[in-house]
Each structure stands twice: as C-alpha cells, then as structure tokens.
Amino acid sequence: MNAWIVEDFCTLPTAAQPFRLMELDELFRGQVRPPRRIDPNRVEFTFANMDGLYAQVADLVARETACCPFFEFTLAEHPHGAAREDHLLLGVGVPANRKDVLEALTDRAVGAMGGGGDEQ
C-alpha cells in the first residue's frame, strides 16, 4: 500500500509517512472522476473545486516536492465541467525511471475512490 515511499528517493521521515499517506487518501476520496493517464509518465486527477481546495492541494504539492523532488506537479482550475461545477486538476508527472511510483500513486487514488480506474 505504501510501496511508493521508500528510502532511496523519499526524504520524508519514516514517522511522517503514514500521515502523508492519510492526507493523500483524504484528497483522493474527493475525486469526481477516476485518474486519467495522460502519457506513460503523467496522470491527471480531477476534483470538485471547493473553497480552499486549491490552497490545500498547493500546500500538499509543495511539501511533497520537498521530500520527493522528482515529482512534477501542475495545478489548474477549470470552470464549469460536465456537471456544471468548477474543477481542480492536479497533474502528476515523473521521470521514466520512477513510473512505478506514479503507478502506485494512481492505484492509491483509485482505491481511495472506491475502485475502477480510467487508464486512457
């Protein structure tokens, strides 16, 4: 379940790792659609854009970048998606040698959503 946090590339203290995973799970439970594979090294996650979510995700992304600098994050707000709601898009990219980390993160997001992913 936490295979993507290992000592060879993550500097987050071991004691803090379960809390970061819980924080990611909480975020991923708020997805409005399954993760979307952009290319082999990039996945996009979509959330209903509620008050304060952008700041919350930006803070999480900054902290994650500090301990795992190989991640490439993008964060964008898009007004009025298919359900007439504003959406927040979180793009996560990794170098080719870290695709396993992206796969584990995507699996975690699918699991937090409650199942079936969209690997386009």
Place of tokens 């995973």: 21
Q: Which of 26-30, 106-110, 115-119 has the lowest mean pLDDT?
A: 115-119
* Third-level CATH fold of 32-113: Gyrase A; domain 2 (3.30.1360)
Tell me the domain boundaries of the chain. 32-113
pTM of the predicted model over 0.85? no
Question: CB of 31 within 8 A of CB of 47?
Answer: yes
Half-sphere exposure of 50 (CA within 13 A, CB side): 7
Of the listed ranges 9-18, 46-55, 104-113, the least confidently predicted one is 9-18
Q: Which residues, other chains included, contact 43 with Cβ-Cβ below 8 Å and sequence gap of 6+?
A: 35, 36, 37, 91, 92, 102, 105, 106, 109
Residue-wise pLDDT for 35-66, tens only, equals 999 999 999 999 988 888 999 999 999 999 99
Is pLDDT of 32 > 80? yes
| Partners of residue 13 on adjacent β-strands | none
